[in-house]
C-alpha cells in the first residue's frame, strides 16, 4: 500500500528524500528548486501533483517553466517528468517535441490558463512503487541531456549573462561576433562551444535583430564603463521635440548639423525624419554597435565616425577613432569643418553613457580603479585644468556634457539636447547656460532596474544665472507602452553640503584611545584596511554621523550613524552638547527610503543652503518640537546602526540614541520627555513598549545591553530557511518581535512623511 500525502510539499519532500541519494547525494533540495518550479534535476524538469487530473494541463504548465528557463539562459532539460504523488506514477515526455511552444513568451503564473492544450501521449508511464520501474525512473533522473533552443531577442540577454558568468574574461565579440566587416570573430551564438549542447547556432548574418539590446549584451563592468546607450522609443520621440525646437533656432540661411558622439545603435536617431537625419553626424565607441549603426542609419546620415570600416577599426572590442573623449576625436576633420564654419549651427543630441567609478557595482567587484580608463582621457584631464574635480570629474556623463559646450558649441543659437541626471546642473554646477525646455523621464525605461529621474533638457549656448526651473515629467505604462499623465517637477540648484555647514569641527578634550567601527556598528577587526580616522574617546560622545554627498544614488551606503567613529572617517562625533541639532541631517538622508517614486531619486538632493536660518531658529527654541520629532524618528529608524557593546578598550559603549530605558533613561529617551505626544507618537511609544517586552522574552536577549531597533533586528530577529517549502521560505524564530519591527517600519514611514519631511524641505535639508 502506497503512502497518501495531504499536501504537495509533503509528497515532494518525501520523493526527494527517497530518490535523491540514488541520483546525486551532493545535491540539495534548495539547488533543485532554485528556479521557481518543482525541480530541475540533471536533464529533467519535475512537476509534482497530489493527483494528476489532466495530463495536458500539467504538461503545458511544464512547457511554461521551460520557456522561463530559456529566457534566463538556463539549459532546457530534455525530459519532462510529471509525478502523480498519491498514485506513485511518473509520466515522461520529451521536451523537444514542444520546442515551438517553449520558444514562446507567457505572461502570468505558469499554473494558470492551461486548459485546451493538447500534447502527445507520454513516452513512458512508470509506477515507481514497483522496484523495476523505480530503477527506470532513477536512471531517467540521472540523464543529463538537454533540448537545444534557438537564440532570439527574447532570450539573448539571459544567455549572455550565463556566458559571462562561465567565462569572466570573455569580450563581447566572443559571444556576439559575426563574419561581417573587417574584423571576423565568430562568437558563441554562431559557433557554440560552451553552449554546444544547449543552443542551435544563430543564423542571422548580423546582430541588427538585437538593436535595442546591444547595451545589455555587455558584461556587467563593460556596461558601467561604456554606459547604457539605450533610449526608450517613446522618450526618443519626446526628445526629438526638443531637437525640432533647436532647429527652429537656426538662423535663416545657416546650415546645421546634429551631432551625437554616443549614438549606440542609433535608436535616438530613429525618431528623426529623413531630412533631419541628413544633418546628423553619429559615432559610437563599441564595435558591434558601430556595425549595427552603419546598417540602420549609415545611408541616411551626413557622416559616421569613422566613415567606413578598415583593418584598424576594431580595437579590442572598441572602434578606433571614435573615442569622443580623445584629443583625436575633438580634432576630427569631418566634424571640425562644421564647427569652424560660422554659417553652420551646431546641435548636440546625446544620451551620454552613465558611469560612476564610485558606483556600488564597481565596488562590489573590487574593480573601481581598473574600470577608470576613461578618467585618463584627454577630455577629463582638460576638465581638471579648469578646476572641475571631485564627484563632478568622477561621472562619465559629465565629461560628455562639459566637452560638448567646450569644444562644439560656439554661437548663442547653438543647442545641446542632452539626457542626464540633473546633478550636473543642480549640484556639480558644470554649466551656467540658458534652459529653453526640459523633460523628466523614468530611468527604469533605459534598461535599468531603478526608478529615478533623468532630465532631457534643451540648453541654449547662452549664459544664465538661473537658480531654479520646472520640467515636465513623463512616465511610461509598461503594459500599454504609452505615456502616463504629465507632471510638473521643480528643479532647484544646491550650493552647500552638510559637511560644510553642520559638522561640528570644534576641538574637544578627547583622548585617542577609543575604538573604531564598521558600517554595521560592530568594532572593526585589527587588520582592517583603509583606516583614516583617529579613535577619539570622550564621555560626551554618544554617536558618529557621516552623511556623504548631495545625492541619493546609494542612500544606505551614503549615511552611517554609529555609536562611535567609523573607520574611514568622513563624519563627525555626535555629543551630548550637539546631538539634537544633528538629527535633521540623519532624517533628511532617509528621504528616498520612504519616497521611492521615480520623480524623487536623482532630482531631490541634500543641501545646507538654509543652514544659517536653521541655526538661528534652532538656537531661539522655535524648532524644539521639530528637533524632538527628528530625534524620535532617529530612534526608530533602521539605518541608525548604534549598538551597545563592550569595546576592545574595555569600555562599555551604551546606545544612547534609542528608547530602551530598561537600565535607566538614555540620552534620547530623557530628552523625549519634553515632547508633547500626538496620536502617532503615542502609537510609536506603545509599539516600542510591546517590542521591547517581546525582545526580553527571547533566548537571544542579553539583559546587560540597551537595545536599539537595528540591534534588535540584527541580534534578536533571527530566522532560518524552511527547506521543506518550495521556495525555501524564511521562518522567524521570534515572530512577535518580527511583527513588531514590521509594524514599526510602517509607522516610521507614516510619521516621517507627515511630521518631518515638510520642515526638512522648508529649511532646505532637502531641495
- Closest-CA residue to 355 (of 380, 330, 335): 380
Task: For residue 183, name the pLDDT band (cuts at 50, 70, 90).
Answer: low
- In percent, the amount of the chain with pLDDT more than 90 equals 72
Q: Express each pLDDT in 257-279 by its tens digit.
A: 999 999 988 989 989 999 999 99
pLDDT at 385 over 60: yes
pLDDT at 223 over 60: no
Task: Please report the pLDDT score of residue 312 as a whole number.
Answer: 76
Task: Please report the pLDDT score of residue 391 as a whole number.
Answer: 84
Q: Do both 439 and 294 map to the same domain?
A: yes
Q: Do both 160 and 142 map to the same domain?
A: no
Q: Do both 102 and 178 map to the same domain?
A: no
pLDDT at 216 over 60: no
Q: Average pLDDT for residues 292-304, to the nearest whole number?
A: 89
pLDDT at 119 over 70: yes
Q: Do both 273 and 310 map to the same domain?
A: yes
Is 195 among the domain residues? yes
pLDDT at 191 over 80: yes
Specify whether the CB–CB gap between 86 and 60 falls below 8 A: no
- Closest-CA residue to 395 (of 435, 426, 352): 352
pLDDT at 357 over 50: no
Task: Please report the pLDDT score of residue 203 as a whole number.
Answer: 86
Q: Do both 626 and 730 map to the same domain?
A: yes
Is 436 among the domain residues? yes
Is 454 among the domain residues? yes
pLDDT at 91 over 50: yes
Q: Do both 141 and 60 map to the same domain?
A: yes
- Closest-CA residue to 436 (of 462, 454, 410): 462
| Exposure class string for 195-234: b at 16+ Cβ within 10 A, else e | beebbeebeeebbeebbbbbbbbbbbbbbbbbbbbbbbeb
Q: What is the Cα–Cα distance from 473 to 140, expressed in whole angstroms? A: 57
Task: For residue 55, name the pLDDT band (cuts at 50, 70, 90).
Answer: very high
Q: What is the Cα–Cα distance from 543 to 533, expressed in whole angstroms? A: 14
Task: For residue 515, name the pLDDT band (cuts at 50, 70, 90).
Answer: very high
Q: Average pLDDT for residues 67-75, to the nearest whole number?
A: 93
Task: For residue 379, name the pLDDT band (cuts at 50, 70, 90).
Answer: very high
More reliable by pLDDT, 213 or 624: 624
Task: For residue 6, name the pLDDT band (cuts at 50, 70, 90).
Answer: confident
Q: Do both 181 and 237 map to the same domain?
A: no
Q: Average pLDDT for residues 638-651, to the nearest whole number?
A: 97
Is 566 among the domain residues? no
Q: What is the Cα–Cα distance from 562 to 210, expressed in whole angstroms? A: 48
Q: Average pLDDT for residues 79-103, to the nearest whole number?
A: 96
Q: Do both 168 and 129 map to the same domain?
A: no
Which cell numbers hold the place of 12?
515532494
Q: Do both 258 and 183 map to the same domain?
A: no
Q: Average pLDDT for residues 582-592, to the nearest whole number?
A: 98
Is 732 among the domain residues? yes
pLDDT at 144 over 50: yes
pLDDT at 155 over 60: yes
Q: Do both 109 and 188 map to the same domain?
A: no
Q: Do both 597 and 657 map to the same domain?
A: yes
- Closest-CA residue to 3 (of 66, 59, 35, 50): 50
Is 420 among the domain residues? yes
Structural domain for 104, as ranges: 8-147
Report the CATH number at residue 344. 3.40.50
pLDDT at 231 over 50: yes
167, 189, 205 — which closes off a domain?
A: 205
Torsion angle defined by CA atoms of residues 354, 355, 358 and 360, in that order, rounded to the nearest 10 degrees: 80
Task: Indicate the range of 366-370, 450-454, 592-596, 658-662 predicted with least confidence.
Answer: 366-370
Q: Express each pLDDT in 728-766 by its tens digit.
A: 688 999 999 999 999 999 999 999 999 999 999 999 999
Task: Please report the pLDDT score of residue 367 as a whole number.
Answer: 46
| Total tally of structural domains belonging to the chain | 4
Task: Please report the pLDDT score of residue 601 as a whole number.
Answer: 95
Is 690 among the domain residues? yes
Task: Please report the pLDDT score of residue 235 as a whole number.
Answer: 95
Average pLDDT, the chain: 91
More reliable by pLDDT, 411 or 9: 411
Q: Average pLDDT for residues 357-377, to the nearest whole number?
A: 54
Is 274 among the domain residues? yes
Q: Average pLDDT for residues 44-59, to the nearest whole number?
A: 95
Q: Which residue has the cell 558591434?
A: 288
pLDDT at 171 over 80: no
Q: Express each pLDDT in 561-581 by its tens digit.
A: 999 999 999 999 999 999 999
Q: Do both 199 and 262 map to the same domain?
A: no
Task: Please report the pLDDT score of residue 63 as a whole number.
Answer: 96
> In this structure, what are the phi and psi dihedrals at residue 127, rounded to the nearest 5 degrees?
-85, 95
Distances (CA, A) of 484 to 67, 188, 480: 31, 40, 10
Amino acid at each position: 500500500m502506497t503512502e497518501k500525502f495531504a499536501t504537495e510539499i509533503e509528497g515532494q519532500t518525501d520523493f526527494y528524500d527517497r530518490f535523491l541519494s540514488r541520483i546525486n547525494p551532493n545535491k540539495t533540495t534548495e539547488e533543485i528548486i532554485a528556479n521557481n518550479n518543482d525541480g530541475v534535476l540533471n536533464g529533467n524538469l519535475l512537476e509534482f501533483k497530489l493527483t494528476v487530473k489532466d495530463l495536458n494541463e500539467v504538461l503545458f504548465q511544464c512547457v511554461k517553466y521551460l520557456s522561463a528557463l530559456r529566457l534566463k539562459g538556463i539549459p532546457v532539460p530534455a525530459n519532462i517528468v510529471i509525478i502523480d504523488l498519491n498514485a506513485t506514477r511518473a509520466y515522461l515526455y520529451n521536451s523537444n517535441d514542444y520546442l515551438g511552444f517553449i520558444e514562446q513568451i507567457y505572461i502570468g503564473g505558469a499554473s494558470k490558463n492551461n486548459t485546451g492544450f493538447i500534447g502527445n501521449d507520454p513516452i513512458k508511464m512508470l509506477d515507481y512503487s514497483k522496484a523495476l520501474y523505480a530503477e527506470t525512473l532513477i536512471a531517467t533522473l540521472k540523464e543529463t541531456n538537454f533540448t537545444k533552443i534557438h537564440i532570439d531577442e527574447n532570450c539573448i540577454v539571459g544567455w549572455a549573462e550565463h556566458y559571462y558568468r562561465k567565462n569572466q574574461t570573455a569580450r563581447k565579440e566572443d559571444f556576439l561576433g559575426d563574419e561581417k566587416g573587417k574584423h571576423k570573430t565568430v562568437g558563441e551564438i554562431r559557433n557554440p562551444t560552451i553552449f554546444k549542447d544547449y543552443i542551435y547556432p544563430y543564423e542571422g548574418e548580423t546582430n541588427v535583430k538585437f538593436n535595442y539590446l546591444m547595451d545589455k549584451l555587455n558584461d556587467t563592468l563593460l556596461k558601467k564603463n561604456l554606459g547604457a546607450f539605450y533610449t526608450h522609443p517613446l522618450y526618443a520621440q519626446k526628445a526629438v521635440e526638443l531637437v525640432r525646437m533647436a532647429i527652429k533656432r537656426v538662423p535663416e540661411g545657416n546650415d546645421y548639423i546634429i551631432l551625437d558622439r554616443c549614438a549606440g545603435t542609433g535608436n535616438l536617431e530613429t525618431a528623426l525624419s529623413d531630412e533631419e537625419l541628413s544633418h546628423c553626424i553619429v559615432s559610437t565607441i563599441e564595435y558591434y554597435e558601430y556595425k549595427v549603426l552603419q546598417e540602420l542609419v549609415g545611408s541616411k546620415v551626413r557622416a559616421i565616425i569613422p566613415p567606413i570600416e578598415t583593418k584598424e577599426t576594431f580595437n579590442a572590442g572598441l572602434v578606433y577613432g571614435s573615442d569622443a573623449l580623445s584629443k583625436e576625436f575633438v580634432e576630427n576633420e569631418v566634424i571640425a569643418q562644421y564647427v569652424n564654419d560660422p554659417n553652420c549651427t551646431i546641435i548636440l543630441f546625446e544620451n551620454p553613457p552613465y558611469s560612476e567609478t564610485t558606483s556600488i557595482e564597481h565596488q562590489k567587484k573590487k574593480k573601481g580603479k581598473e574600470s577608470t580608463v576613461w578618467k585618463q582621457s584627454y577630455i577629463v584631464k582638460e576638465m581638471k585644468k579648469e578646476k572641475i574635480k571631485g564627484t563632478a570629474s568622477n561621472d562619465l556623463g559629465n565629461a560628455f556634457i562639459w566637452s560638448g559646450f567646450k569644444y562644439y558649441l560656439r554661437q548663442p543659437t547653438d543647442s545641446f539636447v542632452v539626457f542626464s541626471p540633473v546633478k550636473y546642473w543642480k549640484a556639480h554646477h558644470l554649466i551656467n547656460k540658458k534652459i529653453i525646455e526640459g523633460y523628466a523621464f523614468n530611468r527604469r525605461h533605459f534598461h535599468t532596474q531603478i526608478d529615478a529621474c533623468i532630465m532631457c533638457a534643451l540648453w541654449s549656448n547662452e549664459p544664465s544665472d538661473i537658480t531654479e526651473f520646472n520640467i515636465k515629467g513623463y512616465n511610461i505604462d509598461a503594459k500599454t507602452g504609452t505615456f502616463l499623465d504629465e507632471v510638473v517637477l521643480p528643479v532647484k540648484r544646491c550650493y552647500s553640503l552638510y559637511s560644510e555647514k553642520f559638522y561640528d569641527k570644534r576641538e574637544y578634550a578627547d583622548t585617542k584611545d577609543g575604538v573604531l567601527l564598521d558600517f554595521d556598528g560592530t568594532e572593526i577587526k585589527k587588520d582592517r584596511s583603509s583606516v583614516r580616522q583617529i579613535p577619539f574617546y570622550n564621555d560626551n560622545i554618544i554617536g558618529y554621523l557621516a552623511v556623504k554627498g548631495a545625492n541619493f544614488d546609494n542612500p544606505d551606503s551614503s549615511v552611517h550613524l554609529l555609536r562611535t567613529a567609523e573607520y574611514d572617517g568622513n563624519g563627525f562625533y555626535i555629543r551630548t552638547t550637539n546631538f539634537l541639532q544633528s538629527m535633521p541631517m540623519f532624517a533628511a538622508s532617509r528621504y528616498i527610503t520612504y519616497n521611492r517614486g521615480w520623480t524623487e531619486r536623482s532630482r531631490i538632493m541634500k543641501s545646507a543652503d538654509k543652514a544659517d536660518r536653521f541655526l538661528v531658529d534652532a538656537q531661539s527654541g522655535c524648532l524644539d518640537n521639530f528637533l524632538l520629532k527628528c530625534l524620535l524618528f532617529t530612534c526608530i529608524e533602521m539605518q541608525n546602526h548604534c549598538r551597545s557593546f563592550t569595546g576592545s578598550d574595555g569600555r562599555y559603549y551604551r546606545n544612547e540614541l534609542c528608547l530602551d530605558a530598561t537600565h535607566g533613561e538614555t540620552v534620547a529617551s530623557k530628552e523625549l520627555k519634553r515632547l508633547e505626544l500626538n496620536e502617532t507618537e503615542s502609537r510609536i511609544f506603545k509599539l516600542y513598549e510591546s517590542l521591547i517586552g517581546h525582545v526580553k522574552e527571547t533566548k537571544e536577549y542579553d539583559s546587560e545591553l540597551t537595545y536599539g531597533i537595528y540591534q534588535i533586528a540584527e541580534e534578536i530577529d533571527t530566522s532560518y530557511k524552511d527547506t521543506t517549502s518550495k521556495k525555501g521560505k524564511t521562518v522567524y524564530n521570534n515572530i512577535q518581535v518580527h511583527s513588531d519591527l514590521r509594524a514599526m517600519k510602517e509607522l516610521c514611514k507614516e510619521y516621517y512623511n507627515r511630521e518631518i519631511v515638510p520642515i526638512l524641505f522648508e529649511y532646505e535639508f532637502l531641495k
